[in-house]
Amino acid sequence: MIKKSTSKNLLLIFTRNPELGKAKTRLAKTVGDKTALDIYKFLLQKTRDISTKVAADKAVYYSVKVRENDIWDPEIYQKHQQVGDDLGIRMLNAFKNGFNAGYKKVMIIGSDLNDLSSKNIEKAFLELETNDVVIGPAKDGGYYLLGMNSLHEKVFKNKDWGTETVRKDTLNDLTDQKVKLLEIKNDIDVYEDIINIPEIMQTFINSK
């Protein structure tokens, strides 16, 4: 159960446990398991660094098992395990936890973006002052950020997660809501996503 503090805003961060052979599997087909894991750890640290600066409560949701001694400081990040049969239900349960704890705005981000900033996230929270839902569209047809000021269960159900139809289907569920789309960003899934990012390519070179 999420603990409520004085903040009205809650930032959820969904992560995969950084394990060899299980992180960034599509990227690993090109660069190998070790390098894919190193790149994912780099992205995790970047997500931690930007989220630490956001003026909101924060909760990390682990894919497999909650880790105690890792990069997520328990003084800053509440720690939970994802629960549900697919990504949508896992996100739905996390949002429910947040709203049930009394938060007014709940937002989720992934942990595989290189160009997401703390300002982007804070702007998204501000957009919820005048919009019902805010979505950060990803180039692959999904989204890298989803925020709402009340729970819209439909958006978490009946989706082909990981496909290019996710954002379109989500918007179809929200036709009666005021939705703000943020700027498009690219999450890191395959080799083509990293070749124009020098700091990640440096990680790739160092891993060889």
Distance between CA 202 and CA 186 in Å, rounded?
19
203 falls in which pLDDT band (50, 70, 90)? low
| pLDDT for 9 beyond 80 | yes
Query: Does residue 2 lie in a domain region?
Result: no
Indicate whether 196 belongs to any domain.
yes
> Does 205 score more than 80 pLDDT?
no
Examine residue 67 and state whether it is found in any structural domain, yes or no: yes
100 vs 7: which has the higher pLDDT: 100
pLDDT reported for residue 89: 97
Domain residues for the domain of 141 are 9-207
pLDDT score at 189: 84
Is residue 80's pLDDT more than 90? yes
Flag whether 133 is in a domain: yes
Q: What pLDDT, on the 0 to 100 scale, is given for residue 155?
A: 96
Confidence at residue 204, expressed as pLDDT on a 0 to 100 scale: 65
How many separate domains does the chain show? 1
Strand-pair category, 77-81 with 9-15: unpaired
pLDDT in tens, 112-168: 898 999 999 999 999 999 999 999 999 889 999 999 999 999 999 999 998 889 999
- Domain-embedded: residue 87: yes
Q: Give a yes or no: residue 66 inside a domain.
A: yes
CATH number at residue 18: 3.90.550.10
Confidence of residue 66 (pLDDT cuts 50, 70, 90): very high
Task: With 0.85 as the threshold, say if the pTM is over it.
Answer: yes
Let me know if residue 92 belongs to a domain. Answer: yes
| Count of other CB atoms within 10 angstroms of residue 144 | 24
Place of tokens 């996390």: 94
From the DSSP assignment, how many helices (H) and strands (E) are in the chain? 6, 7
